[in-house]
Every structure is written in C-alpha cells, then in structure tokens.
C-alpha cells in the first residue's frame, strides 16, 4: 500500500521560490490502479519523483507498506515518458537487464524476460533492437523491464504521452491486461482524461499550483474492461465529471502562464 501523507514541496527560484505541492495526501491500496491528473504545472511529476525517491527535502511522509521512502526504493518501479530502453541491447536483453544486475542465473532471467514479453504482447520480437521497434513497443519493453524485478508499486509518468490517441487506447488495453494478470499496484500520471478513466479504479484530480487534491473520482466501470468501454454512456459521464473538476484548474493555470509571459515581454 502507498500512503502519501500531507506532502509539501517547495523549490527555490530566482524570484523567491515556488510551492509545487501543498498538503497533498492520497492512498493507493494493494492491487489498485490510481490515475493522477491535473493541469500543467500542478506538481504531478514532482509527486512522481518524490514517491520514486528521486526528490528529497519535502515536508510530510511517503510510505510503502508502512516503510518510509528515503531515496530510491527497491519496491518502486518507474516508467518514464522519455525513451529509456538501451539501444545496444535486444528487446529480450533489455527486459533481462535488471535481473542480470541482480545476479539471477541466466536461464532463469531469460525465462522470466520471455514471460514478461509475452505479457506485454511482444512475443516474437525478442531479438529486435529498440531502433527496430515503434514508440509504443519500446514503452512496452520499458514496462516489462520495470516489472522484471517485481516491484510492489509501479509508477508510470505519461508513458504513452508522445503517441497518437488511437495507439494510446490500444496500449491501454495492454496495461489493463498486465494489471489484471499481475494485480500490480499502480500509480499513473497522465494529462489524458480518457486514459485515466479507461485504466483506473480511481482518478485523483489535482489543483493548479500549489498542487493538492481537489477531488477523488471513483471509476465504477466493470472489470475486466478494454478500450471498447470508451463508447459507453457511463464512460462519457465519468470523463465529463473529471473535466468539470479539471476545467477551472486548467483555466487558472493558463491564465497564470499568460500573465507571466506578459510580464516578461513588458
């Protein structure tokens, strides 16, 4: 279980500093899938990096199964938006890499890597290099590699953000299948309301800076589910519900950015 308890994070800047997060609290129970959505600048990536142990110097607590996160945590697996596969390794070698580092015997690590490639729909691509794969296939390779060491919590920061909407929906089906088979506790950072509602059990809507919890929307769509759910009236209702909360925060963020730009020009 992940617990984020009253977290506040401030960054020093040339004009005095900025509060990225303020008194933010949330929980992700074991086996649940939670999506975090908010306007640009609300602190989503800061939250991701704090949970992953990449950012220190914050107020509050972050706990995984009751243990504080203090630096990079072995039980947290992270998937980033940026390209993270190793171009000199094959797809199979990429997935097996963390097991190799951990000293897992070769036969066992290759067997586990092949099983994970099957799970993410990349069976038959074991000998391909990242340059021979599409962007979505490379991200699935990165997800499989992250799952190789069996983290208690999977963190994903806009893993499909650079892909077109159709591809994102189809890759969402893969993520849903992974979650269904592994019951992997997952926290997803996203800008896409459709993606959040398609995948999650709950959607955390954040305010504009300083980021805090505005509302928790429970996604009461049946599981198992896939991308066909987006055509249902209930899906449309939930998307509209999230947008009604997000719209005011996105507008506030846009106005703030435009105001700062006017000041810079003047």
Summary mean pLDDT of the chain: 91
Predicted local distance difference test score (pLDDT) of residue 111: 95
Predicted local distance difference test score (pLDDT) of residue 53: 92
Residues with Cβ < 8 Å from 252, sequence gap 6 or more?
A: 39, 208
Alpha helix segments (H runs only) across the chain? 44-51, 91-101, 106-119, 135-147, 165-182, 193-199, 233-265
Can you tell me the distance from the alpha carbon of 143 to that of 120, in angstroms, rounded to the nearest whole number?
Answer: 8
Predicted local distance difference test score (pLDDT) of residue 12: 85
Can you tell me the distance from the alpha carbon of 14 to that of 32, in angstroms, rounded to the nearest whole number?
Answer: 40
pTM above 0.95, yes or no: no
Q: In the beta sheet, which residues pair with residue 21?
A: 9, 211
Predicted local distance difference test score (pLDDT) of residue 263: 58
Can you tell me the distance from the alpha carbon of 215 to that of 266, in angstroms, rounded to the nearest whole number?
Answer: 37
The span from the first CA to the last CA of the chain, in angstroms, equals 49
Can you tell me the distance from the alpha carbon of 97 to that of 199, in angstroms, rounded to the nearest whole number?
Answer: 28
- Chunked into runs of 10 residues, the chain (266 residues) has average pLDDT values of 94 84 94 94 91 93 90 87 90 95 92 94 95 92 92 91 86 92 93 95 94 94 94 96 91 72 60
Residues with Cβ < 8 Å from 69, sequence gap 6 or more?
A: 50, 51, 53, 62, 63, 76
Q: Which domains does the chain have, with CATH numbers?
A: 2-75+153-265 (3.40.50.300), 85-150 (no CATH)
What pLDDT digit, counting tens, does each position of 207-230 carry?
A: 998 999 999 999 999 999 999 999
Percent of the chain past pLDDT 90, that is, above it, reads: 73
């Amino acid at each position: 279980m992940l617990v984020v308890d009253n977290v506040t994070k401030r960054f020093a800047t040339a004009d005095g500093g900025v509060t990225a997060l303020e008194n933010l609290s949330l929980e992700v129970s074991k086996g649940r899938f939670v999506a975090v959505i908010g306007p640009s600048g609300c602190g989503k990536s800061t939250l991701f990096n704090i949970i992953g142990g990449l950012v220190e110097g914050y107020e509050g607590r972050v706990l995984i199964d009751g243990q504080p996160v203090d630096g990079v945590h072995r039980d947290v697996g992270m998937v980033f938006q940026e390209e993270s596969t190793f171009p000199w390794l094959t797809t199979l070698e990429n997935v097996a890499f963390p097991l190799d580092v951990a000293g897992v015997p070769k036969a066992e690590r290759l067997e586990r890597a092949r099983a994970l490639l099957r799970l993410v729909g990349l069976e038959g691509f074991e000998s391909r290099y990242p340059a021979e794969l599409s962007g979505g296939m490379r991200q699935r390779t990165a997800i499989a590699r992250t799952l190789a060491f069996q983290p208690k919590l999977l963190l994903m920061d806009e893993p499909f953000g650079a892909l077109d909407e159709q591809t994102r929906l189809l890759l969402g089906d893969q993520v849903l299948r992974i979650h269904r088979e592994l019951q992997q506790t997952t926290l997803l950072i996203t800008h896409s309301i459709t993606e959040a509602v398609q995948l999650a059990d709950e959607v955390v809507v954040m305010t504009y800076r300083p980021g805090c919890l505005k509302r928790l929307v429970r996604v009461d769509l049946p599981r198992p589910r896939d991308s066909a759910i987006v055509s249902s009236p209930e899906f449309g209702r939930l998307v509209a519900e999230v947008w009604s909360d997000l719209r005011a925060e996105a507008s506030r963020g846009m106005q703030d950015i435009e105001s700062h730009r006017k000041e810079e020009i003047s």
